Structure formats: C-alpha cells, structure tokens
Amino acid sequence: MPFIHTRVNRPISKEAEQTLAKAYGEAISLLPGKSEQWLMLQFEENCRLWFRGQNENAQAFVQVQAFGKNNAAACDALTARICSLLEEHLHISPENIYVRYDETTLWGWNGANF
C-alpha cells in the first residue's frame, strides 16, 4: 500500500508523467513486499517550492508513504532511483530533491484497515 506524492516547481508534461508513473511502478519493488499493484501516485506541478533561499532552480519534494516498516537499504535504493528518474525526465538535479519516507501501521482500503 505505498503512495508516492511528487511535488515539483516546474510543469510536468503528460508524457513525462506517464513515463514517471511507469518507472515508479517498477521502482517501488525496491521496497520489500511492495508492488505496482497497490501503488498510488500523485504528481503536483508548478508548486511554490523554495530551497536554500531561492526558487529559480528546478526542485522536487517526494513523499513516499508505506504500510509497515521500511528497510533503510531499500529506502536508499529507492531514493537513488527516484532522484535518477527526476533528473532524467524533469531535469531536476538530485541536489535539489528531498525524499521523505513515512511508515504507518494503519492503512485503510476497501472499507477496512489492514
């Protein structure tokens, strides 16, 4: 039950969004027990992000939420992959990307909690 919310301070073309969605679907398997089958995504473009006192450079804040406990090494691998994808498809330097991980033991779906 992962959810990846990507906020960027630039536009995201439909093509780039579709490419990222497919790539995130593959990358989520870096977290043990996670798959595209349960992955939900949200892309937010043209956000008013400021980093290091400025907002001219392309920047991103990515939030990865997941049910259960995450493995630190797996999160490292996913962060590297997310940064690589955003650099390749949105031209955002990894030095201007934050990735945050949130874990929870309460996650609802289909009228009940896991």
On whether the CB atoms of residues 68 and 103 are closer than 8 A, the answer is yes
Token duo for residue 105: 């033991």
On whether the CB atoms of residues 45 and 5 are closer than 8 A, the answer is no
CA 9 from centroid of its chain's CA atoms? 15
**Domain ranges, ordered by start, for the chain:** 3-109
Per-residue pLDDT of the chain (114 residues; tens, 9 = 90+): 899 999 999 999 999 999 999 999 999 999 999 999 999 999 999 999 999 999 999 999 999 999 999 899 999 999 999 999 999 999 999 999 999 999 999 989 999 888
pLDDT of residue 96: 98
On whether the CB atoms of residues 33 and 71 are closer than 8 A, the answer is no
Terminal-to-terminal C-alpha distance of the chain: 10
Helix (H) / strand (E) containing 73: helix 72-90
For domain 3-109, the CATH architecture is 2-Layer Sandwich (3.30)
pTM of the model: 0.94
Query: What are the b/e assignments for 35-44, b being 16+ CB within 10 Å?
Result: eeeebebeee
pLDDT of residue 1: 85
Token duo for residue 54: 């400025």
pLDDT of residue 114: 86
On whether the CB atoms of residues 24 and 90 are closer than 8 A, the answer is no
